[in-house]
A = this chain, B = another copy of it.
Amino acid sequence: MKGNVIVGQSGGPTAAINSSLAGVYRTAKDRGAKKVYGMLYGIQGLLQERYVDLSEHITTDLDAELLKRTPAAYLGSCRYKLPEIHEDPEMYDRIFEILCKLEIEAFIYIGGNDSMDTIKKLSDYAIVKGHSCRFVGCPKTIDNDLALTDHTPGYGSAAKYIATSVKEIIRDSLSQGYMSKGQVTIVEIMGRNAGWLTGAAALAKGEDCAGPDLIYLPELPFDIDRFLEKIRELLAQKTSVIVAVSEGIRDAEGTYVCESGTATEFVDAFGHKQLTGTAAYLGNVIAGEIGCKTRAIELSTLQRAASHLCSRIDILEASQVGGAAVKAADEGDTGKMVVLERISDDPYQCGTAVKDVHKIANDEKLVPRDWINADGTYVTDEFITYVKPLIQGSVSPIMVDGIPRHLYKPTSML
């Protein structure tokens, strides 16, 4: 390529998002890009001309390795939805003015649904206005809810963290099982509408672990009475019951379970409800109705930030889609997103392709109904077969003084 590349990160952080950044940087350099810029805080930062020259940050191969092991958006992220073109054409003019000044040939945006909306609008605008810059999206979300791609980078590492943590929580609960009334542990897992992350709790099951007893995904309505019945049945058989629930489970009327309690709630910039407190609420209901000990655990931020326990497959694929995005743009693609296409489950093989971003943006891929069991309390073997390859392999953290080292981020980038 003859011009420059600019790359941004958007939406919720993941453990793999910087591996995509490293992939973009390396491929852009390999293909002859003069400069690779990083927008600070995504499109929102770019609008204020906040960007860095990545070669000043990734100066050695060791830096690139550290970057792959650094959680959360190295460049900073944003949750910013561009207005429709007709609503604010001046904003689009402003963006393209900056891109022209920087001689940008390829604009790569690493993100989820909302970020692909940005790629769609910018590429549409460029075509209409005759700008030559190409816009390609690079998938990223722990939620795994992007359409047309087999899975999303970031999901595998989150799934590995969830499976490992749930397994450790199960052991912890078992060791305290000598209690007459039993104990119910409820683990709350991210995923507002899609149960991909919550379902990954099933991976805790193996020769040395019975796994969770119940798994509730947000795809199906949650019935509190049937839930309590299940808990009672389980407590009749065992002293420690483990339940994995999505933060987003709703009753048949569509009311979030956590809204039934005292859980806090607020709305983000995209109008999504931010939810917490589902596990705490269910724990309180069980304690009140059944009278046993309960424990509510939110895996919280760590499920997207725990790069000390990432999946090797995930980190490698994240880098690959970054490289593939640059290659696609260099070869003339625009308004596209790189997708992962699975060739086989076992041995696991997966390649990349590019798809029209118009078919991806603002769409949500949910867990298929037949990957959830009949009474909606567990995932099926098909789900396990799908997710298991994605958590394989480890990337050893680079430990300094007992804790993982991350790539240094100067305060000027904050």
Give A165 to B304 CA distance when docked, in angstroms: 11
**Among the listed B75, B167, B311, B414, which residue makes an inter-chain contact with A404, where contact means beta carbons less than 8 Å apart?**
B167
- Most chain B CB atoms below 10 A, which of A172, A203, A238, A403: A403
Closest CB in chain B relative to A210 CB, distance in Å: 8
**Among the listed B175, B280, B407, which residue makes an inter-chain contact with A208, where contact means beta carbons less than 8 Å apart?**
B407
Q: Is the CB of B167 within 8 A of A72?
A: no
Give A203 to B401 CA distance when docked, in angstroms: 9
B-contact bits for A33-45, CB 8 A (1 contact / 0 none) = 0000000110011
State whether the Cβ of A209 lies closer than 8 Å to any Cβ in chain B. Answer: yes
Give A77 to B176 CA distance when docked, in angstroms: 5
Q: Is the CB of B208 within 8 A of A406?
A: yes
**Among the listed B78, B167, B392, which residue makes an inter-chain contact with A406, where contact means beta carbons less than 8 Å apart?**
B167
State whether the Cβ of A128 lies closer than 8 Å to any Cβ in chain B. Answer: no
**Among the listed B77, B78, B169, which residue makes an inter-chain contact with A302, where contact means beta carbons less than 8 Å apart?**
B169
**Among the listed B163, B298, B402, which residue makes an inter-chain contact with A392, where contact means beta carbons less than 8 Å apart?**
B402
Contacts of A280 in B (CB 8 A): 264
What residue of chain B has the Cβ atom nearest to residue A45's Cβ?
B178
Contacts of A403 in B (CB 8 A): 160, 163-164, 167, 203-204, 206, 391
Tell me the chain A residues, 214-245 only, with Cβ under 8 Å from chain B: 238-240
B-contact bits for A296-326, CB 8 A (1 contact / 0 none) = 0110111011111101000000000000000
Q: Is the CB of A394 within 8 A of B405?
A: no
Contacts of A399 in B (CB 8 A): 394
Closest CB in chain B relative to A129 CB, distance in Å: 27
State whether the Cβ of A111 lies closer than 8 Å to any Cβ in chain B. Answer: no
State whether the Cβ of A132 lies closer than 8 Å to any Cβ in chain B. Answer: no
Q: Is the CB of A175 within 8 A of B73?
A: yes
Given A300-B297, A308-B309, A403-B163, verify A208-B408 contact (CB < 8 Å): yes
Contacts of A168 in B (CB 8 A): 71-72, 301-302, 305-308, 404
Closest CB in chain B relative to A397 CB, distance in Å: 8
Contacts of A45 in B (CB 8 A): 178
State whether the Cβ of A400 lies closer than 8 Å to any Cβ in chain B. Answer: yes
State whether the Cβ of A256 lies closer than 8 Å to any Cβ in chain B. Answer: no
Q: Oligomeric state, in number of copies?
A: 2
State whether the Cβ of A409 lies closer than 8 Å to any Cβ in chain B. Answer: yes
State whether the Cβ of A376 lies closer than 8 Å to any Cβ in chain B. Answer: no
- Most chain B CB atoms below 10 A, which of A77, A175, A304: A175
Q: Is the CB of A164 within 8 A of B404?
A: yes
Q: Is the CB of A177 within 8 A of B72?
A: no
State whether the Cβ of A1 lies closer than 8 Å to any Cβ in chain B. Answer: no
Give A305 to B295 CA distance when docked, in angstroms: 15
What residue of chain B has the Cβ atom nearest to residue A308's Cβ?
B164
Q: Is the CB of A177 within 8 A of B76?
A: yes
- Most chain B CB atoms below 10 A, which of A304, A388, A402: A402
Given A41-B178, A174-B414, verify A402-B391 contact (CB < 8 Å): yes
Q: Is the CB of B391 within 8 A of A178?
A: no
- Most chain B CB atoms below 10 A, which of A169, A177, A208, A240: A208
Give A395 to B177 CA distance when docked, in angstroms: 27
Closest 5 CB pairs of A and B: A72-B175, A391-B402, A41-B178, A73-B175, A172-B305
- 9 A–B contacts from the bound complex (CB under 8 Å): A71-B172, A72-B168, A76-B177, A164-B403, A174-B409, A207-B408, A208-B409, A295-B301, A298-B298
Additional A-B contacts beyond A72-B175, A171-B305 (16; CB < 8 A): A9-B175, A13-B172, A41-B177, A41-B178, A70-B171, A72-B174, A76-B174, A76-B175, A164-B403, A174-B409, A203-B401, A206-B405, A207-B408, A297-B300, A311-B402, A393-B402
